[in-house]
Amino acid sequence: MKPTNVSSKDLVAVAKGGVLDRRSFILSGLAFSSSLAVSNVAASDSVGASKINQSIPTWMKTPGGSDTEYGAPSKYENHIKRNVAEHTPETSIFSIWHTPIENQRGIITPNGLHFSVNHNGIPDIDPQKHKLMIHGLVDKPLTFDMESLLRYPMVSAINFLECAGNTAPNAVSVTPLDQTCQGLFGQVSGAEWSGVPLKYILQEAGLKPTAKWVIVEGADGGSHSRSIPVSKLLDDAIIALYQNGERLRPSQGYPMRLFVPGWEGNANVKWLHRLEVTDKPAFTKDESGLYSDILDDGKIQRFSFHMDVKSVITHPSGKQVLPEKKGFYEISGLAWSGYGKIKQVEVSADGGRTWALAQLEQPVLSKSLTRFHIPWQWKGDSAMLLSRATDELGRVQPTRGQWREKYASYSFNHYNAIQAWYISSDGVVENSYV
């Protein structure tokens, strides 16, 4: 993160620790850029037969290269990539690929960087031979091939997707692990998902009155399977065929996946091929074990589908070093809730003693990543940066202590506590608990 070249002497402090008022930042920024434009015009005073100074960069003096059929990021950005979660087994049995979320701006994660969790590797599915089946408590058991599904009316929505186990190290580690934002928060991403509303398929098959659940299954080697309530499928679930305008990538479920906005990643069954309509859940592998929560009293909580309200400051974040030891920085981060829209995000630079409202960047969408910003004048002392999100239902992020009280010490799913980044007087950012 680079310091912005803006004078901040006129900004108004709205909380302690150097958190500033966003509106006054925008006004002073405008004034600064117009004075810069005037001085540039005054500097162009040379005349004569000379040519353009040859010390300009090579790329301004040579013809450019050709474009490619499918574009790729700049070679100078090839260090921005996903990484496999530490301690993940070496085999494809269970692999977790984290998105470099601290390098993302806006609310859309590029397709190649979207996080991915695979329990049985990525199948190579021929779309010409792939079919979607629906059966069970329906009037007409049906099958759909790709050609017919692609003809259905489609909808698109920008939504976040988060693994139930995102930020698990902070849920269970007694001491805060010194990890990057990618390592701690890299199992959440944002994308525009397009596809066929499930309700069209359910209505076409005709649900019987006793239909309450659908056992949703993938066509991967492990036949990943989850029990999903019919009410969610009739609400806003889609058979996702496109992600950010192109057909799904194999690691996101090509040729089709279930997308249930706001619900834990594991329920968004990839490589979708079968819908079995039932009156009760099947207690599949993941709803029997790994994707349940163990409460403080020893109870095993199942079917906790929603990803709760959560936020993280991405700029600056874990293991980064602020390039100048004091001065102006813009704090920026992401907030999201599986229940609806983000209503507000508060930021603290003094460990939660005082808070200021961050500006929410448009668009603010339901069950979507929401970008927030707040200007910050760092005085060079150690600081503790926190963000606290509230959604439109009034759900507020708990402190880590409040979250921990609810769960057994080793329960790690659905962690959504307030994240703290400690900034030393040397500008080193470190994961921290408050």
Partner 1 sequence: MSSHRLYRCFVKNTLSSLLLVVALSQAATYADAADFSTDLGETLSASELSDYEITIFPNGKNLPEGKGSVIQGEKLYKGRCMMCHGEEGDEGPAARLKGSDGWISFSDPLRILRINKYPVLLISVGSLWPYATSIFDYTRRAMPHYAPKSLNDDEVYALTAYILYLNDLLEKDVVLDEKRILNIQMPGKNRSISAWPEFK
Which residues of this chain interact with partner 1, rule CB under 8 A?
87-91, 93-94, 120, 133-135, 140-145, 148-149, 151-153, 155-156, 197, 200-201, 203-205, 212-213, 215, 217, 221-223, 225, 229, 231, 273-274, 276, 278, 280-285, 288-290, 292-295, 298-305, 408-410
What's the burial of 104, exposed, middle or buried (CB within 10 Å: 0-12/13-18/19+)?
Answer: buried
Q: Name the residue nearer to partner 1 (CB basis): 16 or 285.
A: 285
Q: Name the residue nearer to partner 1 (CB basis): 134 or 347.
A: 134
What is the distance between the alpha carbons of residues 344 and 396, in angstroms, rounded to a whole number?
9
Q: Name the residue nearer to partner 1 (CB basis): 290 or 357.
A: 290
Q: Name the residue nearer to partner 1 (CB basis): 215 or 389.
A: 215
Single-letter amino acid, residue 17:
G
Closest distance to partner 1 from the beta carbon of 203 (Å): 7
Closest distance to partner 1 from the beta carbon of 50 (Å): 57
Single-letter amino acid, residue 303:
F
Closest distance to partner 1 from the beta carbon of 113 (Å): 23
CB atoms within 10 A of CB 366: 19
Closest distance to partner 1 from the beta carbon of 201 (Å): 7
Q: What pairing do the DSSP bridges indicate for beta strands 213-218 and 272-278?
A: antiparallel
Closest distance to partner 1 from the beta carbon of 357 (Å): 30
Q: Name the residue nearer to partner 1 (CB basis): 150 or 357.
A: 150
Closest distance to partner 1 from the beta carbon of 196 (Å): 9
What's the burial of 91, exposed, middle or buried (CB within 10 Å: 0-12/13-18/19+)?
Answer: exposed
Closest distance to partner 1 from the beta carbon of 169 (Å): 10
Q: Name the residue nearer to partner 1 (CB basis): 27 or 300.
A: 300
Tokens representing 366 are 């339901």
The closest alpha carbon to 117, from 273, 270, 309, 282, belongs to: 270
Q: Which long-range contacts (CB under 8 A, 24 or more apart) does 426-429 make?
A: 426/321, 426/325, 427/321, 427/322, 427/323, 427/324, 427/325, 428/319, 428/321, 429/316, 429/317, 429/318, 429/319, 429/320, 429/321, 429/322
The alpha carbon of 241 is separated from its chain's Cα centroid by a whole number of angstroms, namely: 19
Q: Do 115 and 243 form a contact (C-beta atoms < 8 A)?
A: no
CB atoms within 10 A of CB 73: 12
Closest distance to partner 1 from the beta carbon of 137 (Å): 12
Q: Do 392 and 341 form a contact (C-beta atoms < 8 A)?
A: yes
Tokens representing 241 are 């065929």
What string of DSSP letters covers 33-94?
Answer: HHHHHHHHHHH----SS--S-TTS-GGGTS------SS----GGGTT---EEPTT--SSTTS
The closest alpha carbon to 17, from 380, 417, 372, belongs to: 380
Closest distance to partner 1 from the beta carbon of 161 (Å): 19
Q: Do 11 and 377 form a contact (C-beta atoms < 8 A)?
A: yes
Q: Name the residue nearer to partner 1 (CB basis): 6 or 294.
A: 294
Q: Name the residue nearer to partner 1 (CB basis): 165 or 333.
A: 165
Count the residues in the chain. 434
Q: Name the residue nearer to partner 1 (CB basis): 145 or 324.
A: 145
Closest distance to partner 1 from the beta carbon of 26 (Å): 30
Q: Name the residue nearer to partner 1 (CB basis): 112 or 222.
A: 222
Q: Which long-range contacts (CB under 8 A, 24 or more apart) does 299-304 make?
A: 303/227, 304/264, 304/413, 304/414
Closest distance to partner 1 from the beta carbon of 202 (Å): 11
Q: Name the residue nearer to partner 1 (CB basis): 263 or 421.
A: 263
